[in-house]
A and B are shown apart, each in its own frame.
Chain A
Amino acid sequence: MSKNLIVGVDVGGTFTDVFILDETSSSVSVAKVPTTPKDQSVGFLNGIQSEIDELSNVATIIHGTTVATNALLERKGAKTGVITSKGFKDVLEMRRRDRPNTWGLWGEFKPIVPRDLRLEVRERVLADGTVRELVNIDEIKETARKLIEDGCEALSIIFINSYANDENEKIAKDAIQDIWPNEHITVSSEILPEIREFERASTATLNAVLQPVLSHYLGALEEKLTNRGFLGQVLIVQSNGGVMSVDNAKVLPIKTALSGPAAGVIAASYIGMNAGYPNIVSCDMGGTSFDVSLISDGHSKLSAQTSIDFGMVVRSPMVEIITIGAGGGSIARLDAGGLLQVGPESAGSDPGPVCYGLGTKTPTVTDANVVLGRINPASPIGGRLERLDVNAARDAINFHIAKPLGIDVMDAAEAILRVANAKMASAIRLVSVERGHDPSIFAAMPFGGGGSLHAGALIREVGLSCALVPRFPGITSALGCVIADMRHDQVQTINKTLDDLDIILLDEEIVRRRTEGHAVLDNAGGIFDSRADQIELDMLYVGQTHTISVVLPVSIENGTSNVTKKVIKKAFDESYKLQFGRLLEGLGIKIMNVRVAVIGERPRFDLSVLAPSKNAKVENAIKEKRQVYINKNWVEVTIYNRLDLPVAAAIDGPAILEQPDTTIFLEHDATGVVDKFGNFRIVIKP
């Protein structure tokens, strides 16, 4: 039996999506099953087994998981102890002196590790790396023992200035391992040797909190797979859009904290590149939120850190995603001044919109779409409900919006969508126009259940070139799992002016980190088409606070990167000019951090396997005609089965295209065509 299947499994909040590529027959199949929140591996296996009989046929499973995110949000991580420098046990609880909301002083914060499990030891390293006080081995052991006796399953070691010298942290780790041979120890200088104690402490501690959780989950998952005859390899999607081995994920679980959305962005980039659109704004609209990410020339931008929740900072490269509270479940209401507002409050997917009939009384975006006839009430997405209650949705809009505004209920439903679209458009402007990009060269790629209903309005409002609806918008993240590359990121703080920089030391650091990165790829046992390195510096003018990211045009050959100060200066000038328009002559330049990423490019697959059947005909795809309310009029609109449309089929608005996982809506001024990969491209008619 040959192992010919590659499987992507993305576990989201509501559904577990599966994408299966058969390399022998070049065919794909997809599955969508309910997520099993208590033990995600149950839904995981249900999804795979709904399409695959013999797990021994599977070569690789690539898994996007929300186990880490959920454990953090629900505070269900492992009991963890923190060992830190004397005088600083409260760093984690003090954060960076912020508050959750600008307005209203009712914030609260519960640190992930309570104060009695954060213990101090005498030791001190200065900012220049000098060891002012050496850590005492006996004290360390005694402190660790206390925490272990208290029931801690994981420990993090966080000493001040350990980014500049990791000696004391190393000694501490060795001492603890003497008495507690256990892999659940996170050392701050190992995971993030970067200046900023709170961010480092938070990242290291959250990692420790997750280690037992992910180890348990992934261990059990592997065991279940093996018991069912699986002989292949499992890879885990990271927040940076790359994948890593299960062993590495057990050590660095924090790197999976935002893996779900990242996989979607990877897919959007790949689909866009293939379809001839390297510039994409991906728009993922779910029940509570609208996630936007910008892909420029096939590359998505990484942000250096993010917060999982207030005060729960993770500093590790993540695909940059802007999230606003505008999903299908976002609630529409009038504020006390009578202004129509949509979101950020949401009815989510449970109890969900009014039309679900599960208890929500206030109208949502989905209710507006149902009332206007855009969503088919007889076939709700996901198959959990039999049908949607249009009357209840209409009554809710009438009572909460139409009557108080003195307008017709149908107009009120359209108004809700206009305000929701305006909010989504502003999120797209934020990542495109506001970052200096010309929107007219970008295509929107809607995925998730609701995005395609709003795609036309969004491209019109922002001035995007078109919208590209992927063949299976509901399983885009699972598809992204299958094509993600392997990636390993590292960082080291340098904190030197260009004048004071020891270029030989920098070169050694780059080479050392790069070698370590490639060792990680080697150990993962994957097959790579090719490998790539990415060397970046975080730089700034002396006196400035924010750094800019500067890609160094160097490659490592014969054990050196050949980096020079001239190369660094030139690269900085170009990057700074690009971002701010002009240079500030006469000011010193500083290098804060060096970042080294190694990428193992995994084999690609030909997206044309997604193309519709050659026998498909437009007339066979026509499903029915339905009354839809558009621009203050009821219009009879043709409804198509989207998946039955052939390549090159052109559909003029107004029209609605339905498929199990989404609905595409074309207004009068929109027109669309099926491309050779099965994507549906929408443009606004000239």
Chain B
Amino acid sequence: MIDPVTLAVLNGRLEQIADEMDATLFRSAFNPIIAEAHDASHGLYDGKTGETLVQGKSGLPIFVGAMSFAVKAVIEKAEKDSDMCEGDVYIFNDPYDGGTHLSDFRLVKPIYRNGSVFCFIASVGHYHDVGGNVPGNYNPAATESFQEGVLIPPVKLYEKGKLRQDIIDIMLANSRLPGSLYGDLNGQINALELGLNRINELLDEYGDDVVFNAMSELRRRANKLMQSYIEKLPDGVYGAVDWLDNDGIIDKPLKLELKIRIAGNQMTLDFRGSSLACLGPVNISRSTTIAACYVAMKHVFPEVPANSGVLDSIEFIIPEESILSVKAPRPVGGYTETILRLIDLVFQAMAEAAPELTNGCAYGTINALSLAGYREDGRRWVMFSFFGGGHGGHPKGDGLSHGNAPISTATIPPLEILEAAYPVMFRQWALRADSGGAGKNRGGLGAVYEIELLEKSAEGFIFGERAKYAPPGVLGGKSAALNEFYFEQNEGDSTPPMGSKMVGIQLMNGQAVRLETPGGGGYGDPLLRSIDAITEDIRLGYISPENASKEYGVELGPDGEIDVLATQVKRNRTLKVETMP
């Protein structure tokens, strides 16, 4: 049994190693998706099981749950081949085997002490381009993963400390942006080298046994911590249903269903009732489903550590034939949309179990938008970015406007950087009025982005969601606005037939695309929102008087101002009707 003080100290030291690996890659990465958006992650994993021991705090939240599956995939591969050696580094992006989507490349390295594996360290980063039918790999029209990019199964990038250049050559040959890929890969290698040195220093300082015991104990405590939270929830079954607009191929909604079962200090997440695997790229693998649930739990209980022990008391029921447990070559490129929906499901189901811990759903779509073409001098350009929206209202107040997705901590590039790099001009970059779901605590606002083309012509694609099913509120809070996308054509504004998914959008000079993103869902009954708060919302243009009247039960006087007395009468009447048996 390790003493509690050494445990607390070692916990900090181990976290710092993972954080430092994160920082190393962020500083040296080439593509902005890693360097600015921090779409990457690093951690330490159990030497036998691959379970997460610690993970860096600044990486992409979704990887906290996903990475142990990547390490497990390497352990299986190494057992099959029985040829893992000191100095090896494995590399792969297989999304079905412990992955997420093809853009995420994982490097996994065993750390040897006295001839045997002590633990693993790993690095994952989102590369700018890994082949496939569209630049950036968000192909809303993919029906097989072969159209999404090149797939590398777990192979050795280093063998006994020697780099295998042939692997790098294969990867470079399959990317539209080989320079960027090469830079990012080198950054990951640097991060692993640093991790190896730091762990060896720590082990030399404290002794292998002490650190090993601390790692086991931290896992036990992570489980205990999670159990203490589950125990506080009332026993019972709490359900929610939410929808994806479509899979980008067939315009038919896809159902996602969750039942959370609480019994004592154990929790079951049951996804029976969810849609079958689909043709388009919004499928996800089982490991991704579990990772998404982990992210959702950590948003509800922020103190739980990045340690697999958190999942020890959670049972998962994920039907094998469902959209949430697919195998190769089902396309998975749009995995972000599906995992965002899973997080929304957890918020909605938890609202029933613990209203004081949850919040309205966030905007719920990544909105990958790309515009690409050729400049006058023949050079190719590709602008690719994700866009923001509102967060849900919560027990402490209104939701945050223009936040980032719950699976990510990514910031958006400055529009001046985009305008300097690509032949585009933003006409607008603004908050979107009336986009936040009504509620006692209102959802935050989504955004409006309008982008005009300055070159002769360009082709675009959009991969988004929530165009047909808006982000829901909780506990009586209302849904946010739908996601809307327009593109200008000679005959006027046009919208994608699949809501927010389309490839091959043709733009001419002076034409623009316009994206209006959802806000967050509301928290609590909007009739309970104070008139002062609504007055302020109208004054600042967050909501229109019409919206106030429709959603908040407000009576407007002839001058357009709120008629306080009439409003109180109207609200009381409505509240009474609602509470009648």
Show the binding face of A for B, using Cβ within 8 Å: 87-91, 93-109, 114-116, 124, 126-127, 132, 160-161, 163-164, 195-199, 335-341, 405, 407, 414-415, 418-419, 422-423, 426, 429-430, 434, 495, 541, 543-546, 579-581, 584, 587
Contacts and interface: CB of A to CB of B under 8 A. Distances in A.
A339 B7 contact: yes
Nearest to A105: B391
Interface stretch (B24-32, B99-107, B111-119, B499-507): B24-32
Nearest to A422: B9
A544 B28 CA distance: 8
Interface string B404-436: 101001111011110110000111111100000
B11 A339 contact: yes
Contacts of B218: 339
Given A126-B419, A546-B27, A415 B4 contact: yes
B179 interface: yes
B224 interface: yes
15 contacts: A87-B450, A90-B430, A90-B431, A96-B414, A101-B302, A102-B61, A127-B419, A196-B417, A338-B4, A339-B4, A419-B8, A422-B12, A430-B16, A543-B183, A545-B32
A546 B35 CA distance: 7
A422 B8 CA distance: 9
A107 B394 CA distance: 9
Contact of B224 (A94, A338, A415): A338
B179 A543 contact: yes
B228 A109 contact: no
B541 A115 contact: yes
A587 B12 contact: no
Nearest to B343: A105
Contact of A103 (B186, B299, B397): B299
Contacts of A91: 429
B430 A99 contact: no
User: B-side binding surface: helix, strand, loop or mixed?
Assistant: mixed
B268 interface: no
A97 B388 contact: yes
Given A338-B221, A426-B12, A198 B431 contact: no
A375 B298 CA distance: 40
B236 to A, nearest CB: 22
A162 B287 CA distance: 48
Contact of A87 (B190, B303, B426): B426
Interface in B101-140: none
A99 B394 CA distance: 14
Interface in B1-60: 4-5, 7-9, 11-13, 16, 20, 23, 26-32, 35-36, 57-58
A591 to B, nearest CB: 13
A580 B189 CA distance: 12
Given A97-B402, A160-B416, A196-B417, A419 B396 contact: no
Contact of B401 (A109, A543, A579): A109
B180 interface: yes
Contacts of B409: 98-99, 102
B425 A87 contact: no
Contacts of B222: 337
Given A415-B4, A581-B190, A104 B299 contact: yes
A196 B411 CA distance: 13
A546 B25 CA distance: 11
A94 B435 CA distance: 14
Contacts of A114: 540
A409 to B, nearest CB: 14
Contact of B425 (A90, A102, A126, A495): A126
A8 B375 CA distance: 59
B351 to A, nearest CB: 13
A196 B412 contact: no
Given A88-B430, A97-B388, A543-B179, A198 B414 contact: yes
Given A97-B388, A114-B540, A103 B394 contact: no
B420 A105 contact: no
Q: Which 8 A-B pairs have the closest CB atoms?
A: A337-B225, A97-B388, A337-B221, A103-B302, A87-B428, A545-B35, A97-B412, A127-B419
Contacts of B394: 105-106
B299 A405 contact: no
B392 interface: yes
B383 to A, nearest CB: 13
Given A90-B429, A543-B180, A195 B190 contact: no
A105 B392 contact: yes
A580 B429 contact: no
Contact of B404 (A99, A106, A196, A580): A99
Contacts of B419: 126-127, 161
A109 B180 CA distance: 35
B539 interface: yes
Nearest to B523: A106
B180 A422 contact: no
A419 B10 CA distance: 10
B359 interface: yes
Nearest to B310: A337
Given A96-B414, A103-B298, A116-B541, 14 more contacts: A98-B411, A102-B57, A105-B403, A107-B403, A115-B542, A132-B425, A195-B420, A197-B414, A335-B225, A337-B222, A339-B218, A414-B5, A495-B420, A544-B30
